[in-house]
Amino acid sequence: MKKEFALAFNEVLDDKQLPRDVIVGALEAALVSAYRKTVNASTAQQIEARINETTGEMQIYAEKEVVEEVQDQRTEVTLEDARKENPEAQLDDIVMVESTPEDFGRVAAQAARQMIQQRIREAERLAQKDHFSTLEGEIVNGVVQAANPHMITIGLDRKAEGKMPRSQQIPGERFRVHDRVRALLLEVKDTTRGPEIILTRAHKDFLRRLLEDEVPEIYQGLVEIRSIAREPGYRSKVAVSALQAGIDPVGACVGMRGVRIQAIVRELHDEKIDVIEWNSDPSQFIAKALSPARVTGVYLEEESGGGKTATVVVPEDQLSLAIGRDGQNARLAAKLTAWRIDIKSLPEAAADALAKAQADASFLEQNPEWAEQLPLVETALAKKAEGRPLTPEEFTLLGRFVDRIESGAQSQREAILDAERQKRAAVEATLPETAFDIPLDDLGLAPSLAIKLSGEGYSTIGELMTQLKLDSDVLLAMEGIGPETLKAIQAAIDGFAFPAPAPKAEPVVVEAEPEPEPEVVEAAPVEEAAPVAELTDEPVQLSQEDEDLLAAMQAERPAPGQSLEEIFAKSSAKLGGKAKPGAAPAQDDKKKKKKKKFRELDYDPDTDTTIPRMRDEWEED
């Protein structure tokens, strides 16, 4: 029994890949169910099953009442039998006693089998859900098990199955049974039949994960993916930036000779990928996002409501390239940059700019230099309308004219936007500070009205009050809001009691202790140094004794690292001790003043020569 139970138990553990306590719990629940079926026990009676994993023995304990005489063995037990399990048992106590039957019936065994299968199946589903929930947004590998026009079923690890709908597949890609597939785990849904795992190869995050796998700089955090715009199966645009100086983000993603990007292109069924460098300047970023088209100018227009539009001017021969097939290139650039892009050819932009200049009577007054060139612009546009070719100088003139008009209009729009921002800031300064922290639901409006206002972007009471003071007609233009509703909103705001703002903690100023003044120590008087003899170009007259000393020193080359005192002592010893440095001067008994003669020698290591100097000095002993 022990050997058979251990083999069967370990086989189930290896096959199901479940924790040991889960399998043991399933067996115990099955034994309890089988006991209830065998003895027809009540569901209110507590029953426990205990399994010894070492010996494989199984015991069942049932809750019974201690009585003197047993009338129902299912619920009663004698005092003698009860004290075998609990020595402190008394009459009328409820105790747990062993009630293991000798054998289970066929129906009970079948119920136990179903219970074990059900518990293990539930544990498998729960383990699969927990495992794959942690893998959401990551790439998983699998094998195609079934393929039809609407969905592909992919076998994953832990005996799980993933589904890839047609909408999540790359157009034009076909799979056959037993093909290995890499896909992004998009979502794990909990259903009554177990977890439903949705896979995708068309999501832009699939391209992000492939780049992280192929480019070590992205995985290590040296290069960052700023944004991705993708139309699966056709073209993708990726904006990257370097987080460390000296790294080329585009070159790191492309790799040497395009090795890295080509591996991703093959994985994505030959999908074209444009890698561009992210730029903080929207104009330059938009110009790069429209690659491979060449851009002449980018002019931005930001609205106070949050709308952003960029007018892009391109040469006439680059217009189709900038727009792309069916507008694909422009569409991807707009997704990548989060700007609405309006592309115009240079002649078209020049015609619009000319119309603006002619409509503005003050244009020539503010730009007198264009008085002579404006007719030339009209002539160039007339030639273009007739189908005649333009010279390079005329194209340059049109480009300058468009830049002048559009740049001036952009400056005016920015000035108006700054004025609106300042006006809004001034209005917000007059409102209570706490109004911008209170949700709109606290105002007490009708639920339908509150939902409508929240859908228009008003999430706090302060934002609604600001709009009322700036322009209440914006609220009146909303569907379902009329003058009466506006009065109700204003009445609710007037009757609302705003809490006082919390007092701001004043910074604690700690006065620094004054530093002690440094003590002034009077310096001891410095004795004046002996005057140094001035050097002249006149030749020095040496005595016979000095000439002999100089000849002896020149004959004896000094050793490397030898000091001047050693050289002087060695030379003096050869001359019979005529001059010994450091020797005490001769003194007579009368302590008379005596004139001493000193010789000074300067050694020049560069020229390997010794220069003597003579100086007489009187000293008083």
Whether 20 and 111 share a structural domain: yes
The SS3 of residue 270 is coil
Whether 12 and 66 share a structural domain: yes
Of 125, 145, 163, the position where a domain reaches its end is 125
Of 466, 492, 518, the position where a domain reaches its end is 492
Closest CA to 169 of 201, 137, 204: 201
Whether 48 and 118 share a structural domain: yes
Whether 11 and 71 share a structural domain: yes
Tens digit of each residue's pLDDT (9 = 90 or more) over 362-419: 887 788 888 888 889 999 999 989 888 889 999 999 999 899 888 888 888 788 888 8
Tokens of 423: 């006006």
Q: How many domains does the chain have?
A: 4
What pLDDT score does 253 carry? Answer: 94
**Does some domain include residue 447?**
yes
Q: How far apart are CA 171 and CA 185, in angstroms?
A: 19
What pLDDT score does 560 carry? Answer: 52
The beta-carbon contacts of 443-450 under 8 Å, at least 24 apart in sequence, are 443/492, 443/493, 443/496, 444/492, 444/496, 445/488, 445/489, 445/492, 448/480, 449/480, 449/481, 449/485, 449/489
Whether 102 and 146 share a structural domain: no
What pLDDT score does 527 carry? Answer: 47
What pLDDT score does 132 carry? Answer: 92
The beta-carbon contacts of 187-192 under 8 Å, at least 24 apart in sequence, are 187/136, 188/129, 188/132, 188/133, 188/136, 190/129
Q: How far apart are CA 64 and CA 45, in angstroms?
A: 8
Of 101, 125, 149, the position where a domain reaches its end is 125
Residues 6 or more apart whose Cβ sits within 8 Å of residue 601 = 553, 564, 567, 568, 610, 611, 612, 613
What pLDDT score does 535 carry? Answer: 43
**Does some domain include residue 240?**
no
Enter the DSSP assignment of 172: T
The model's pTM is 0.63
Q: What angle do CA 589, 591, 594 make, to 5 degrees?
A: 115
Whether 140 and 48 share a structural domain: no
Whether 50 and 121 share a structural domain: yes
To which residue do tokens 């192929």 refer? Answer: 214
**Does some domain include residue 100?**
yes
Q: What angle do CA 358, 362, 368 make, to 5 degrees?
A: 90
Range of the domain at 608: 545-552+562-579+593-621
The SS3 of residue 219 is helix
**Does some domain include residue 520?**
no
Residues 6 or more apart whose Cβ sits within 8 Å of residue 415 = none
**Does some domain include residue 617?**
yes
Tokens of 531: 């005057």
Residues of the chain where predicted confidence (pLDDT) is lower than 70:
1-6, 304-306, 502-621
Whether 100 and 145 share a structural domain: no
Whether 159 and 194 share a structural domain: yes
Tens digit of each residue's pLDDT (9 = 90 or more) over 455-510: 888 888 888 888 888 888 888 888 878 888 888 888 888 888 888 776 665 555 55
